[in-house]
Amino acid sequence: MEFKRNIIITGGAGFIGSHVVRLFVNKYPDYRIINLDKLTYAGNLANLVDIENSPNYVFVKADICDYEKMTELMNTYNVDGIIHLAAESHVDRSIKDPFTFARTNVMGTLSLLQAAKVYWESLPERYEGKRFYHISTDEVYGALSLTNPAGDENGRGPYGPDFFFETTKYNPHSPYSASKAGSDHFVRAFHDTYGMPTIVTNCSNNYGPYQFPEKLIPLFINNIRHRKPLPVYGKGENVRDWLYVVDHARAIDLIFHEGKVAETYNIGGFNEWKNIDIIHVIIKTVDRLLGNPEGHSLDLITYVTDRMGHDLRYAIDSNKLKNELGWEPSLQFEEGIEKTVRWYLDNQEWMDNITSGEYEKYYESMYQGR
């Protein structure tokens, strides 16, 4: 079958990538979707069982740092679009092992860019109809101050007058955000130097089904279920801006098709939460759904040594995306968190498959000495 487009989605077996792959495979039967993933600890093909037999879906196990392989894939599949999500993504791991982050996030992105450049420049139409879309994070902008710790009249965000805009100067603090910043710069440099049609988006914290349980929300849901301690870093006062993952995938679809080349778009839901407040929402929701009395799991909250260099506050201004392309989040947070908690409780087998084996060693090493 001749496909209308041939799109590589890197990191498609991970958390956000699996939602993007699912959306594209189902919504565009005339596109061939090539999921390119190394299957690191964070990659899990069980995230995609519902679409794995679709005629327009191909899975390729490969490392984005393998330049020859990237070149081969560009040619084999006549690739005309890349949506690049593959990355090392966890801040705590980056603090322990920054090299892996520089390798995958910086060198891997460069290897993919160069393979795309060489292939596209070899074609008669060159860059026409091509697109390299790089998925990045708001963490590259650094951290905002928490000047309004009490929040609004309902005790909710915004927790300060300032936001991250597309024009905010990069100021990454963690090895993770530094490596993502490096990759973002390479993507923009490939546009400015070679004319590659690139787009970069910077999104806030995502939550939802299929997130690896080293991240706050799935980790805490699972720990509550097993009556394990909930390790709150520092005083739990750090603020994050949370977006339901399916809304991020919807934004990626829209921007891939309608975003302007060489532009940057911020993606976020104007949904700031202090960690300790979101933890209370999680506890309340899990307890209710498990039939526990209200407050039953509050005793699991355990304050631990703060993360090194812990960014105080992230808050995205996504008005450019709203005004130019008409995107808005479809879910209110209350609905999103209810769906999320239900999903993890209903999919205990998915969680158990991950948390058995190697995961336990990782989890113990993470909290040693805290």
Q: Which residues belong to the active site?
A: 138-139, 176
**Smallest distance, ligand NAD to C-beta of residue 295, A:** 29
Binding mask 137-156 for ligand NAD (x = CB under 6 A): x-------------------
User: Running DSSP on this structure, what letter comes out for residue 305?
Assistant: P
User: Running DSSP on this structure, what letter comes out for residue 306?
Assistant: P
- Candidates 34, 35, 63, 144; binder of ligand NAD (CB under 6 A) is 63
- Candidates 48, 51, 83, 85; binder of ligand NAD (CB under 6 A) is 85
**Residue for token digits 């976020």?**
268
- What is the distance between the alpha carbons of residues 324 and 318, in angstroms, rounded to a whole number? 10
Cα distances (Å, whole numbers) of residue 325 to 201, 246, 263, 331: 13, 17, 12, 18
Assign residue 344 a region: left if phi > 0, alpha if psi is -120 to 50, beta otherwise?
alpha
Site membership for ligand NAD, residue 206 (CB under 6 A):
yes
| Pick from 112, 40, 37: nearest CA to 79 | 112
- Candidates 7, 25, 33, 42; binder of ligand NAD (CB under 6 A) is 42
Site membership for ligand TYD, residue 117 (CB under 6 A):
no
Q: Which stretch binds ligand TYD (CB under 6 A): 185-193, 226-234, 261-269, 339-347?
A: 226-234
Residue 241 interaction partner, one of ligand NAD, ligand TYD, none, beta carbon < 5-8 Å per kind: none
Please identify, using beta-carbon distances, which residue of 51 and 351 lies nearer to ligand TYD: 351
Please identify, using beta-carbon distances, which residue of 80 and 214 lies nearer to ligand NAD: 214
Both tokens assigned to 262: 């060489």
Site membership for ligand NAD, residue 39 (CB under 6 A):
yes
**Smallest distance, ligand TYD to C-beta of residue 142, A:** 13
Residue 212 interaction partner, one of ligand TYD, ligand NAD, none, beta carbon < 5-8 Å per kind: ligand NAD
Both tokens assigned to 99: 């090299």
Q: Which stretch binds ligand NAD (CB under 6 A): 59-67, 71-79, 185-193, 342-350?
A: 59-67
Q: Is 318 helix (H, G, I), strand (E, B) or coil?
A: coil
Cα distances (Å, whole numbers) of residue 319 to 164, 230, 267, 314, 316: 11, 35, 9, 16, 9
| Pick from 14, 17, 278, 316: nearest CA to 137 | 316
Site membership for ligand TYD, residue 216 (CB under 6 A):
yes
Number of residues lying near ligand NAD (CB under 6 A):
30
Residue 231 interaction partner, one of ligand TYD, ligand NAD, none, beta carbon < 5-8 Å per kind: ligand TYD
Q: Are 213 and 222 in contact (CB under 8 A)?
A: yes
- Candidates 25, 37, 286, 315; binder of ligand NAD (CB under 6 A) is 37
CA 224 to chain centre: 24
Site membership for ligand TYD, residue 337 (CB under 6 A):
no
Site membership for ligand TYD, residue 215 (CB under 6 A):
yes
**Residue for token digits 């679709």?**
54
User: Which stretches of 7-63 are DSSP H helices?
Assistant: 15-27
| Pick from 243, 244, 309: nearest CA to 94 | 309
Site membership for ligand NAD, residue 43 (CB under 6 A):
yes
Q: What are the backbone angles phi and psi of residue 367, rounded to the nearest 5°?
A: -105, 5
- What is the distance between the alpha carbons of residues 319 and 165, in angstroms, rounded to a whole number? 9
Q: Are 333 and 242 in contact (CB under 8 A)?
A: yes
Site membership for ligand TYD, residue 275 (CB under 6 A):
yes
Please identify, using beta-carbon distances, which residue of 13 and 286 lies nearer to ligand NAD: 13
Site membership for ligand TYD, residue 16 (CB under 6 A):
no
**Smallest distance, ligand NAD to C-beta of residue 39, A:** 5
- Asked whether the bond before 213 is cis by omega within 30 degrees of 0, the reply is no
CA 164 to chain centre: 17
CA 295 to chain centre: 31
Binding mask 96-135 for ligand NAD (x = CB under 6 A): --------x---x--------------------------x
Which residues here bind ligand NAD, judged by CB under 6 A? 10-11, 13-17, 37-40, 42-43, 63-65, 85-89, 104, 108, 135, 137, 180, 203, 205-206, 212
Which residues here bind ligand TYD, judged by CB under 6 A? 91, 205, 215-216, 219, 231-233, 238, 240, 275, 307
